[in-house]
């Protein structure tokens, strides 16, 4: 069986999903981990939400403000931040937009549905 | 409680571990996911090993050959490859070395021990 692979520069082959206006992602997953390769348009804003899956946010390019619980974090290239299970969070892209790799463990079931939209039901 | 965070350009604050001669990492983890920020010296070679935890390899810089089961993959910046649970794998860095983000789900228990060395017991 071929190794599942993609490139962050131009991810292809994942399940496409629109998370919010100006925030598109491609989703890839195995048994225990889901990866979400996001492209955020300039100043695109997500929605405050939470879920039981643990999340790590990896900033690939651009900048923005990551809200995690009560904290507002200015983030840029190479920054990696942890979002514990159940913690409210959101992201607002900076003026040049952002590319992000989100990591979920376990995979988010709401994100495995073809044709889905949004950040999934809060749990 | 402060958000757990680090930067891939110069990761600090993780648990340091030597995986092999010329392959150093810093480990960060939560409940379901462990991140391993590796620096590989030029031509540094790992060891063929396997474990029950799922793994994703994210190439940040440099190049190398990633062995996954029967496949030998030439990898470079931005490449992301999946290593299913239990699959034999190894990495040999290219002439300029490599920086890699490895993702494990669930966290590898062998990697949570301070002072540990190597790729952990095969399971």
Across the interface, of A7, A30, A104, the residue whose CB is closest to B54 is A30
**Inter-chain touch B73–A5, beta carbons under 8 Å:** yes
Is residue A18 in a domain? no
**CATH (domain of B81):** 2.60.120.10
Whether B47 contacts chain A with CB within 8 A? no
pLDDT score for A122: 52
Task: Domain of residue B93: give its range.
Answer: 15-112
Banded model confidence at residue A1, pLDDT cuts 50, 70, 90:
confident
Q: Could you give the number of structural domains in chain A?
A: 1
pTM comes to 0.96
Count helices and strands in chain A by DSSP H and E runs: 0, 8
B5 inside domain: no
The two three-digit tokens of residue A55, written as one number? 């999340």
> Is A10 part of a structural domain of the chain?
no
In the beta sheet, which residues pair with residue A17?
A25
Q: How many CB atoms lie within 10 A of CB A95?
A: 9
Give the integer Cα–Cα distance in Å for B87 and B6. Answer: 29
B35–chain A nearest CA distance, Å:
9
In the numeric block, which tokens belong to residue B39? 């620096």
Mean pLDDT within A55-82: 98
Task: Judge whether B118 lies within some domain.
Answer: no
Is the CB of A32 less than 8 angstroms away from the CB of B105? Answer: yes
Q: Look at B81 and A3 and tell me if their CB atoms are within 8 Å.
A: yes
Candidate from B2, B9, B54 with C-beta closest to A32: B54
**DSSP code per residue over B38-65:** EEE-TT-B---B--SSEEEEEEEEEEEE
Maximum separation of any 2 CA atoms in chain B, in Å:
45
Q: Which residues face B54 on adjacent strands?
A: B105
Chain A partners within 8 Å of B6 (Cβ): 79-80
Looking at the complex, does the CB of residue B73 fall below 8 Å from at least one CB of chain A? yes
Instruction: Say if A13 is an interface residue toward chain B (CB within 8 Å).
Output: no
Q: Do A33 and B103 touch (CB under 8 A)?
A: yes
How confident is the model at residue A121, as a pLDDT? Answer: 65
Per residue of chain B (123 residues), what is the pLDDT tens digit?
A: 789 999 999 999 999 999 999 999 999 999 999 999 999 999 999 999 999 999 999 999 999 999 999 999 999 999 999 999 999 999 999 999 999 999 999 999 999 999 889 999 654
Give CA–CA dist A66/A5, Å, rounded: 28
The continuous run of DSSP H or E covering A59 comes out as strand A54-68
Residue at A58 is within a domain: yes
| pLDDT tens readout for residues A7-65 | 999 999 999 999 999 999 999 999 999 999 999 999 999 999 999 999 999 999 999 99
The pLDDT tens digits of the residues spanning B37-60 come to: 999 999 999 999 999 999 999 999
CA distances to A26, A62, A98, A99, B105 from A94, in Å: 21, 7, 7, 11, 31
Do A77 and B103 lie within an 8 Å CB cutoff?
Answer: no
| Domain-located, residue A19 | no
In a domain, residue A14? The reply is no
d(Cα B94, Cα B92) in Å, to the nearest integer?
Answer: 7
Residue A9 lies inside a defined structural domain of this protein: no
Contact A54/B69, CB-based, under 8 Å?
A: no
């Amino acid at each position: 069986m071929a190794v599942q692979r993609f490139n962050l520069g131009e991810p292809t082959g994942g399940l496409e999903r629109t998370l919010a206006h100006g925030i598109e992602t491609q989703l890839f997953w195995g048994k225990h981990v889901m990866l979400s390769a996001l492209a955020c348009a300039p100043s695109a804003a997500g929605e405050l939400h939470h879920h039981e899956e643990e999340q790590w946010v990896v900033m690939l390019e651009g900048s923005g403000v990551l809200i995690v619980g009560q904290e507002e974090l200015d983030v840029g290239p190479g920054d990696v931040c942890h979002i514990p299970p159940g913690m409210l969070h959101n992201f607002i892209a900076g003026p040049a937009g952002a590319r992000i790799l989100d990591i979920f463990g376990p995979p988010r079931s709401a994100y495995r549905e073809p044709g889905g939209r949004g950040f999934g039901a809060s749990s």
